[in-house]
């Protein structure tokens, strides 16, 4: 084997190893955003779930929330919505999330820049609070900042994807309680120890009382039971804006 060929093969091996390490470090979703020119120049959204104990909130705000939100803004992002978790309606999570934050980046490139920066790693390591970060390419529709939200997170059976989409378009009794489907989209879990969710549905209501009434409605309960045939790892949260 000639020396040039050996050198070329070694170069390919090293390049492949580096790509593998980068993919392991940032994850396949972030790597895809960084390498795909079309995705890199499209808007990108983050849902940030945080689990806090009552005595941790002050430290969290000082060492994590405030500097992280400033980093998002410095890297071109915008904080769209922030909510408290009123209760876990269905499912189970490792830690009970107490706060949810939605941020938007005009271009995914700005998000990649932020999440791969030394500042991001420094802030994340300074406060090892339990958190889950979900990435989303599609924007919510008519998302009212002060409205209660019933949020579904789950893994969808691919075979039943078309059937499920039809079901979400005619949510039983939703109109009766003034509810709207404001977000139904694919998602990617970027950080956190959770199951492999790949789907999100957000239902918006005018008041907490209407959201609770819809959740208790026998028809809604039956509908959720039927929908779970096509879902895995289902978590349903009732959220309320704290802005």
Contact at 8 Å (CB) between 80 and 103?
A: yes
Q: For the segment 120-135, what is each residue's pLDDT rounded down to a tens digit?
A: 888 888 776 788 889 9
Last residue of a domain, one of 136, 169, 185: 136
Q: Count CA atoms closer than 13 A to 13's CA, side-chain side.
A: 6
Contact at 8 Å (CB) between 48 and 136?
A: no
Q: For the segment 173-229, what is each residue's pLDDT rounded down to a tens digit?
A: 788 899 988 998 889 888 887 767 888 999 999 999 999 999 999 988 887 787 777
Domain boundaries, position 96: 26-136
Same domain, 39 and 67: yes
Same domain, 58 and 91: yes
Q: Where are the beta strands (DSSP E) in 32-179?
A: 44-51, 78-90, 99-105, 130-136, 149-156
Q: What is the structure's pLDDT at 6?
A: 40
* pLDDT at residue 2 is higher than 80: no
Q: What is the CATH number of the domain that holds 55?
A: 3.30.70.100
* pLDDT at residue 23 is higher than 70: no
pLDDT band at residue 28 using 50, 70 and 90 as cut-offs: low
Same domain, 120 and 220: no
Same domain, 30 and 83: yes
Q: Which of 24-33, 52-61, 207-216 has the lowest mean pLDDT?
A: 24-33
> Against a cut of 0.85, is the pTM above it?
no
Q: What is the structure's pLDDT at 215?
A: 93
Last residue of a domain, one of 90, 106, 136: 136
Same domain, 175 and 230: yes
* pLDDT at residue 50 is higher than 90: no
Q: Where are the beta strands (DSSP E) in the chain?
A: 44-51, 78-90, 99-105, 130-136, 149-156, 180-186, 188-191, 199-204, 231-241
Other CB atoms within a 10 A radius of the CB of residue 60 amount to 20
Q: Where are the beta strands (DSSP E) in 8-64?
A: 44-51
Q: What is the structure's pLDDT at 224?
A: 78
| Cα distance between residue 117 and residue 55, in whole Å | 29
Between 184 and 53, residue with greater pLDDT: 184
Contact at 8 Å (CB) between 203 and 149?
A: yes
Residue 2 lies inside a defined structural domain of this protein: no
Residue 15 lies inside a defined structural domain of this protein: no
Average pLDDT over the chain, rounded to an integer: 78
Same domain, 232 and 180: yes
Which two structure tokens, joined as six digits, stand for 142? 């008519």
| Cα distance between residue 178 and residue 175, in whole Å | 5
CA diameter of the chain? 76
Same domain, 67 and 44: yes
Last residue of a domain, one of 105, 136, 167: 136
How many domains does one find in the chain? 2
Residue 213 lies inside a defined structural domain of this protein: yes
């Amino acid at each position: 084997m000639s020396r040039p060929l050996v050198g070329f093969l070694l170069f390919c091996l090293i390049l492949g190893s580096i790509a593998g390490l980068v993919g392991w470090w940032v994850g396949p979703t972030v790597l895809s955003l960084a390498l795909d020119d079309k995705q890199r120049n499209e808007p990108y959204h983050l849902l940030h779930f945080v689990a806090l104990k009552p005595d941790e909130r002050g430290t969290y705000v000082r060492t994590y929330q405030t500097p992280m939100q400033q980093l998002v803004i410095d890297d071109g992002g915008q904080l769209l919505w922030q909510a408290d978790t009123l209760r876990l309606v269905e499912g189970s999570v490792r830690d009970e999330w107490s706060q949810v934050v939605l941020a938007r980046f005009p271009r995914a490139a700005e998000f990649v820049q932020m999440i791969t920066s030394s500042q991001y790693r420094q802030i994340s390591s300074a406060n090892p609070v339990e958190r889950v970060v979900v990435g989303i390419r599609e924007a919510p529709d008519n998302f009212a900042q002060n409205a209660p939200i019933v949020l579904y997170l789950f893994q969808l059976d691919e075979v039943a994807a078309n059937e499920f989409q039809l079901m979400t378009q005619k949510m039983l009794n939703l109109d009766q309680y003034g509810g709207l489907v404001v977000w139904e989209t694919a998602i990617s879990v970027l950080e956190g120890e959770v199951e492999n969710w790949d789907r999100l549905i957000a239902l918006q209501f005018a008041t907490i009382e209407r959201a609770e009434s819809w959740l208790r409605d026998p028809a809604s309960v039956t509908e959720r039971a039927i929908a779970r045939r096509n879902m895995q790892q289902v978590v349903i949260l009732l959220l309320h804006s704290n802005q």
